[in-house]
Structure 1
Amino acid sequence: MSRTRVVVTGLGTTSPLGGDVASTWEGLLAGRSGVRHLTEEWAADLPVKIAGRIAVEPTDVLERVKARRLDRSAQFALVAAMEAWRDAGLENAVQDHGLDGDRVGVAMASGIGGVTTLLDNYDTLKAKGPRRVSPLAVPMLMANAAAANISLYVGARGAVNTPISACASGNEGIAMAIDQIRLGRADVVVAGGTEAAIHPLPMAAFANMMALSKNDGDPSTVSRPWDTARDGFVLGEGAGVLVLESLEHAQARGARIYAEVLGAGITADSHDIAQPDPEGRGGSRAILRALAESDIDPSAIKHVNAHATSTPLGDIAEGLMLHATLGAGIDDVVVTSTKSMTGHLLGGAGALEAVATVMALHERVSPPTINLDDKDPKVDLDIATTARPLPQGDIAALNNSFGFGGANVAVAFGSF
């Protein structure tokens, strides 16, 4: 594989904090929570009645007919991809830049895919019979629906992929995009992740396996990574998208560059289907591989957007990983968990957090972690509890994602 330099030229998101990057970033820096009470009738009997609902409904952005043909997860993905594509200056790419669709790819991930379409159509089948099942159900519920619809929007005729690795999926989409560019198969790849799983069945399932917090207090205070009172994650929804390009291609068209994507590491724990390795060995190997592929010294890392979901075991394991991989330099690293504000977007989490990591490097400021009132003494990290300046000069940052099945993905970004 070549050492082709890969850069970020476009960003897009729709999240519990805002319908675009600007509003989401403003909310993150302000330490504002997007977690709310669920007011739907179906939530009344659930053991958990809070979630990070999207701030701006995709039907407010997409054409009505188009939106009706997409699962909610694909709606999120398309909204974020449209913003990222415009942000990269590629809206009229064929006319203005002579962009070759054969050299454009998509790597859009999801942990679950079109689950709301699947479950809603099953309810229709039971209540009204097979003739009332939507003829669009399959193209809406298929896992690659988001990637396919983005490819139609941007005119991508290269590889259109959908990596699925639970909560590490969004970060894996970015890793796959790096590979496509460095293997010479694409000049531009639209990468990220999306999820829309705020539905009674997924919520009941996560709650019954003791993964979700059952704190029934103020919703904005429930997601509390690293705090001694943490008792599980808060489910969120949304999408994050990055436009990645080879540096040569981006410079040739005069693109604005946010940051450089230095490298990625992907590993598996082979420990347990749901619980992390308590020593964090698999995650440590992912971080070390990302550093090795990036060809940087651990001391270059000055910021980490941690996976830190607010689970008792996972938060401690990640702290061990960072100490094991960054060594003495860990004292100079500003760590944050933006899940404290957005909740956990599952397959969309790594991508939304990649957008936040890139913005942190670009703006030289780390978002805070909120609700950290009493830090667990087993976690020895410098965690930002207010927006914190990052150093000037050449620095790098890590974005970590870990998922059920023992999936670990770390992506290293560098200032540009």
Structure 2
Amino acid sequence: MFGSYLNLVMSLLCLDVFVFSQQNEKKNLTATANNLPQIVRQRLLEDALLPCNSSNGTDLELIEWWYKRIGGVYIGAFNATSRHVHTNWTKDGAYQIADNGSLIIHNVRRELVERYECLSKFLNGNQTRNSILLRLDFSFWYAPEPFSLFYGSCIFALIFCVASFLLNIFWILIRWSVLSWIKRTERLSRVRAMLVAMEKYRQKHMESLHEGYNRRMSTFRENYHNQVETIRNSYLESSERFRDYRQAQKENVQQHLDGYYQQISRLREFGHKRVEHLWESYEKSVNAVRTFTLEQRLKILNQYKVKQRYVNKLLEAIGTETNVDIISRKEAAIREVLGEEQPPPTFWSSSHHPSNNSNLRRSASFHSLPEFPLVDEILEEEEQQIIYVNLTEFNKNNQEEIEKEEKEYLLALQQPSTSTASSILPLFNNNKIQA
């Protein structure tokens, strides 16, 4: 389809060129017959030949050529009798008179396009003038030639289409790269925000777990001290009453000591069970927090398609900014340089934690993630119903008082009851429980 259309266009162009050339020939013949100015057309930068119609006469004597622009400029003459050529003005080598009297114009250009006049002089004294108009021939632009306007426009259109296509491809690539970079930056910013929120969320619940654990442990300590103190006071009061009746009330004293020992044993077992139960619930909550944090990190890695190395760097940077131990070491180095004393240990130092490897990190906001239940409500109800005991060892003052009372009791007892009194000594020493 396209080939037939192209052949049709080319045939029409050839027909137009042929018709145009025939019309020019007819015009030239008509102009010659009617003594009108003859038109000579020539392509740009080619040589043009301007013939003189009277140069073939038998009685021709002289032919003169004039450049008729303003007034007229004498170019030269040709003597037909002597065959001599006289040139007056060549205009930088553009004009040349041939041996037959014709005018040759070299390298036709725009400034040479003008009206030229041929003056023929005969031997009988007659003269004839012929005007010739030189024009540029642009008909080849539309002709099917290699350097015509048609092929030039086709090549230019093809080059323009290819250039515009390449420009569009280049613009699409630049736009795609910029949009991908923007999306990647937004994705990484969202990942960083999610990691920061998760870290703050984890810190919040770890702090609440540590606070609850220490609060319950302090309650255990106080209750345990109070109960032991109550039992010891009751035992001392009973021992003072039985001091004067030791021989008569020997069996009662033994029963009283056995009851005291059983109470202490039950209290110790109950305290151990409660501490183990509290520690198990604490470990369970900590593991739940760690599991939740790891699941969220894996979800972020799969959702945003980021590398584990990038997440580790972010968590390391966050931990460096909020880690209490790192801040404490920096403060200790500054105090050492200044020569100041070390401050007393805080409540949140690593020695007070149930695990030395668990460090707390402080944060400002915890509203980025949904709430995650970590505290068992059943444990809170049981905590309100049970009696808490203290599992720390006695302080030095209470221990000295107990030793003094033991010595006094041993001095008060006689020899037959020494075996009974000696069973009391390991009771106090073996029941010291460390929290």
What range is the shorter-chain TM-score in? under 0.3
Higher strand proportion (structure 1 or 2):
1
Higher helix proportion (structure 1 or 2):
2
Rg larger in structure: 2
Q: Scaled by the length of structure 2, what TM-score is found?
A: 0.18
Structure with larger RCO (C-alpha < 8 A, sep 6+): 1
Q: Scaled by the length of structure 1, what TM-score is found?
A: 0.19
